[in-house]
């Protein structure tokens, strides 16, 4: 049996319609109620409205991505107790609405981050890119973060200075807004000033402190998920290393291993994202998948090409750091095991994550990374790979 082919839909304002998604061959929808402010309860009514809209188009709402975690919970200050309570209620409500997989992340301040939205790759299509020197130049010379200079080597600083002095006005504006405006799905946008203030709130929060906050949060919400038959899936940090001095705690094997050891229920699960994990050079993704396979209840499949200095761009789905063949094989094996064991999730949902801007989409208004044709290409390639392997895996 194949994995479940899904597609992220940002709701009624998404330029890609539910009918387009059907034609791309997906059956399941990944969606979120982006209009509900962070921290507020997702009511059954709101959930059912979205669900009905999806079902009217002949599709199913398979995964919630994401219910955002309020910053107060990450910092354990302010109204964090109320927000945890609200989160529990939202989980219960998701179950009442019949949705049993929830994705979330625990990245402080910023969700996924890139510096360039229209990086031209060899075939002329446009990809998202994280350029290390642009990022450092922004941190040191635009944001002027206090401890920035001590975060980098002399040679990085020298090159970043040169990069900064070569930017024209448009480049400066574009890099700044690409970092601060947030990408699709991130629920926060900042001005330079707000951003500095937000970063300062984490001055006293070390990696281990943030990890402790995550574990305390999980110890509260995982039992609720278990009672309600909901699987939580944490999304890895994207990129999987510290940005702007912020702690990152879901970046590699050891982080995940701690997380799963400390909260042992498999309702404490993982959104296995090959693009995020793959942006760390030499990360053994197939080992992560094999060792934690029973935690994987949702999958993002995409690829990145990582350069010597840590920069990366989003490559075609079957090219780049992730060995998609091995990964797909491992996923199909896990799925077979689940069917044998009678697991509730017998079709693990995956979505083609991001895609290049290409063909007609080049002249349309699209959500960065989430244009229709690039993802359609990705899904088609992944589907072909999956069907091919399925015929051989016994
Ligand atoms: C980017 C996405 C992220 C991710 C959230 C999960 O394309 O993978 O927006 O959905 O970080 O909470």
Beta strand pairing call for 28-31 and 4-8: parallel
- Residue owning the nearest CA to atom 1 of ligand 1: 112
Q: Is 235 in the pocket of ligand 1 (CB under 6 A)?
A: yes
Please name which of 198, 218, 202 lies closest in space to residue 87, comparing C-alpha atoms.
218
pTM over 0.85: yes
Dig out the tokens for 271 from the structure: 């959104």
Residue 394 binned pLDDT confidence (cut-offs 50, 70, 90): low
Output the CA torsion 92→93→99→101 (10° steps).
-50
- Given the residues 235, 255, 297, 356, the one annotated as active site: 235
Q: Is 116 in the pocket of ligand 1 (CB under 6 A)?
A: no
Could you give the 3-state DSSP secondary structure of residue 58?
Answer: coil
Pairing of strands 101-105, 116-120: unpaired
Query: What's the CA-to-centroid distance between 108 and ligand 1, angstroms?
Result: 13
| 239 ligand 1 Cβ < 6 A | no
For the record, the structure tokens of 309 come out as 């200095």
What span, in angstroms and rounded, lies between the C-alpha atoms of 19 and 139? 42
Grouping H, G, I as helix, E, B as strand and the rest as coil, residue 206 is coil
Which of 219-228, 358-367, 385-394 shows the lowest per-residue confidence on average (mean pLDDT)? 385-394
Q: Say what the pLDDT of residue 392 is.
A: 83
Between CA 42 and CA 51, with CA 47 as vertex, the angle to 5 degrees is: 160
**What is the Cα–Cα distance from 8 to 234, expressed in whole angstroms?**
16
Residue 360 has pLDDT above 90, yes or no: yes
| Angstrom distance (rounded) from CA 180 to CA 334 | 38
Say which of 103, 135, 238, 273 is annotated catalytic: 273
Catalytic-labelled residue, pool 70, 252, 297, 300: 300
With a 6 Å cutoff on the Cβ, whether 231 touches ligand 1 is no
Q: Tens digits of per-residue pLDDT, 294-324?
A: 999 999 999 999 999 999 999 999 999 999 9
What number of other Cβ atoms are within 10 A of residue 272's Cβ?
29
187 pLDDT higher than 90: no
Quick one: which atom of ligand 1 is closest to the CA of 273?
8
pLDDT band for 83, please (50, 70, 90 cuts): very high
- Can you tell me the distance from the alpha carbon of 53 to that of 301, in angstroms, rounded to the nearest whole number? 26
pLDDT in tens, 5-20: 999 999 999 999 999 9
b/e map 49-66, b = 16+ CB within 10 Å: ebbebbeeeebbbbbbbb
pLDDT tens digit string along 331-340? 999 999 998 9
Q: How many CB atoms within 10 Å of residue 80?
A: 19
Strand partners for 233: 103, 269
- Residues whose CB is less than 8 angstroms from the CB of residue 243 and which lie 6 or more positions away in sequence, other chains included: 110, 113, 135
Domains for the chain: give ranges and CATH numbers: 4-112+204-305+314-390 (3.20.20.150), 116-198 (no CATH)
Q: What's the confidence (pLDDT) of residue 393?
A: 65
267 included as an active-site residue: no
From residue 278, how far is each of 17, 238, 253, 300 by CA, in Å?
30, 9, 12, 12
């Amino acid at each position: 049996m194949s994995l479940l082919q899904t597609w992220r839909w940002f709701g009624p304002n998404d330029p890609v319609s539910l009918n387009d998604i059907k034609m791309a061959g997906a059956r399941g929808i990944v969606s979120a109620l982006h209009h509900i402010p962070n921290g507020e309860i997702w009511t059954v009514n709101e959930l059912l409205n979205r669900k009905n809209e999806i079902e009217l188009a002949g599709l199913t709402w398979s995964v919630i991505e994401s219910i955002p975690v309020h910053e107060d919970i990450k910092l354990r200050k302010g109204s964090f107790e109320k927000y945890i309570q609200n989160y529990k209620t939202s989980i219960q409500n998701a179950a009442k609405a019949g949705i049993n997989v929830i994705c979330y992340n625990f990245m402080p301040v910023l969700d996924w981050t890139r510096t360039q939205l229209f990086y031209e790759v060899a075939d002329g299509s446009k990809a998202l890119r994280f350029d290390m020197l642009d990022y450092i130049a922004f941190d040191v010379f635009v944001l002027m973060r206090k401890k920035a200079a001590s975060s980098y080597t002399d040679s990085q600083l020298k090159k970043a200075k040169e990069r900064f002095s070569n930017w024209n006005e448009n480049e400066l504006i574009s890099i700044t807004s690409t970092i601060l405006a947030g990408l699709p799905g991130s629920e926060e946008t900042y001005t330079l000033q707000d951003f500095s203030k937000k970063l300062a709130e984490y001055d006293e929060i070390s990696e281990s402190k943030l990890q402790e906050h995550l574990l305390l949060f999980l110890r509260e919400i995982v039992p609720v998920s278990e009672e309600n038959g909901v699987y939580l899936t944490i999304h890895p940090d994207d990129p999987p290393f510290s940005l702007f001095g912020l702690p990152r705690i879901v970046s590699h094997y050891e982080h995940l291993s701690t997380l799963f050891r400390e909260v042992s229920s498999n309702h404490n699960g993982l959104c296995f994202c090959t693009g995020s994990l793959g942006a760390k050079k030499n990360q053994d993704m197939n080992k992560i998948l094999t060792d934690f396979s029973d935690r994987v209840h949702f999958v993002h499949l995409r690829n990145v090409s990582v350069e010597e200095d840590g920069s990366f761009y989003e490559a075609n789905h079957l090219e780049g750091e992730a060995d998609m063949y091995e990964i797909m094989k491992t996923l199909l094996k896990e799925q077979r095991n689940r069917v044998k064991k009678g697991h509730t999730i017998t079709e693990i949902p995956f979505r083609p994550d991001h895609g290049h801007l290409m063909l007609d989409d080049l002249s349309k208004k699209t959500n960065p990374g989430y244009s229709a044709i690039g993802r359609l290409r990705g899904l088609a390639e992944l589907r072909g790979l999956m069907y091919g392997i399925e015929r051989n895996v016994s």
